[in-house]
């Protein structure tokens, strides 16, 4: 696929996501999840090798299918652009992310803590039952920061590097990690390959997210300072980059103790000198996420244009 059809198509897909968000039913990512779950039932063994095979087959099928589709339409700029638009719309989740965050924020603003707790699992996997208003707000802001990298920036990065196959393959990797990459008795070994692949694939986008957060911030010096000081303190090699940058950009304290069902994690505090998150910071985080997404689109389309020009040369 040439650079121009991809540039136009990816921009169109981004705008479609901004206007429409994820479809309520029949989302291609959900269909991938169903197929990956069926494959898991056939392949599951409490062994890393079985998990690696599962990851290779699931992600390889998506990447290979996308590559074949891109090759099939490469001689038609219109078809190539349409394919890129459809792929970008499929993988990007920025609008649904901020929509869910704002839903929780409205419940908190209305004094409906029970409603906010009930809605929080749509954003993250932590146990909301014992969270107070500030803790729910903190969970929302952290989820917006982390998923700005995963649901927007990283997909655009891999699209900029590898076109439609890059877009779709990254979303497959990220979805598979959410399905089997977490630490549990069932997935500690089987999910190892999916988790490690997601760490590798998410590395560039997480750091670009942090850089763009600094650029989009109203307090870039503070955002830079907190990111560079605290970004690597997080147990995840990637999530802490975006979260620390968001903490500095918004001027709030993130991190600390989290509960995931029976499991409790005591994570480092990001921006320890800053005040705790308030309900109003949810809307500020959503606006920052949208600015970061727009900058990521511009940056990654620029990369794609340069790479396309080099190939022609």
Single pTM value for the model: 0.91
Give the residue from 81, 136, 86 showing the smallest Cα distance to 113. Answer: 136
Task: For residues 158-187, give the mean pLDDT.
Answer: 93
Per the listing, tokens 């996997």 go with 125
Mean pLDDT of the chain: 92
Cα-based distances in Å from 103 to 80, 140, 286, 313: 36, 10, 11, 49
Q: Give me the pLDDT at residue 235, please.
A: 83
- Whether pLDDT at 313 is above 50: no
Q: Are 251 and 286 in contact (CB under 8 A)?
A: no
- Whether pLDDT at 84 is above 70: yes
Q: Give me the pLDDT at residue 278, please.
A: 97
**Residue 27: strand, helix, or coil:** coil
Q: Are 9 and 311 in contact (CB under 8 A)?
A: no
Q: How far apart are CA 25 and CA 269, in angstroms?
A: 38
Q: Are 117 and 128 in contact (CB under 8 A)?
A: yes
Angle between helices 133-148 and 280-312 (to 10 degrees): 10
Domain boundaries, the chain: 3-312
Q: Give me the pLDDT at residue 52, please.
A: 97
Give the residue from 196, 31, 165, 179 showing the smallest Cα distance to 87. Answer: 165
Q: Are 83 and 267 in contact (CB under 8 A)?
A: no
Q: How far apart are CA 277 and CA 140, in angstroms?
A: 10
């Amino acid at each position: 696929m040439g650079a121009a059809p991809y540039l136009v198509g990816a921009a169109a897909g981004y705008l479609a996501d901004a206007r429409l968000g994820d479809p309520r039913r029949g989302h291609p990512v959900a269909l991938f999840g169903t197929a990956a779950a069926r494959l898991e039932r056939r392949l599951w063994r409490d062994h890393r090798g079985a998990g690696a095979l599962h990851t290779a087959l699931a992600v390889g099928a998506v990447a290979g299918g996308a590559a074949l589709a891109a090759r099939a339409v490469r001689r038609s700029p219109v078809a190539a652009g349409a394919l890129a638009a459809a792929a970008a719309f499929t993988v990007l989740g920025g609008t649904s992310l901020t929509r869910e965050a704002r839903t929780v924020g409205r419940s908190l603003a209305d004094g409906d803590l029970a409603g906010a707790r009930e809605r929080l699992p749509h954003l993250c996997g932590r146990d909301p039952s014992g969270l107070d208003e500030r803790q729910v707000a903190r969970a929302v802001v952290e989820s917006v920061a982390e998923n700005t990298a995963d649901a927007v920036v990283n997909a655009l990065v891999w699209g900029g590097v590898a076109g439609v196959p890059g877009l779709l393959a990254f979303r497959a990797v990220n979805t598979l990690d959410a399905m089997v990459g977490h630490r549990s008795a069932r997935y500690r070994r089987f999910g190892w390959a999916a988790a490690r692949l997601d760490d590798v694939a998410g590395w560039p986008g997480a750091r670009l997210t942090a850089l763009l957060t600094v650029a989009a911030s109203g307090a870039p010096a503070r955002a830079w300072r907190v990111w560079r000081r605290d970004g690597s303190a997080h147990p995840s090699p990637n999530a802490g980059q975006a979260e620390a940058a968001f903490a500095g950009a918004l001027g709030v304290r993130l991190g600390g103790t989290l509960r995931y069902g029976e499991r409790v994690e005591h994570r480092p505090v990001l921006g320890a000198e800053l005040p705790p998150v308030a309900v109003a910071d949810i809307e500020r985080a959503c606006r920052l996420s949208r600015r970061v997404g727009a900058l990521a689109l511009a940056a990654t389309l620029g990369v794609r244009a340069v790479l396309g020009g080099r190939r022609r040369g």
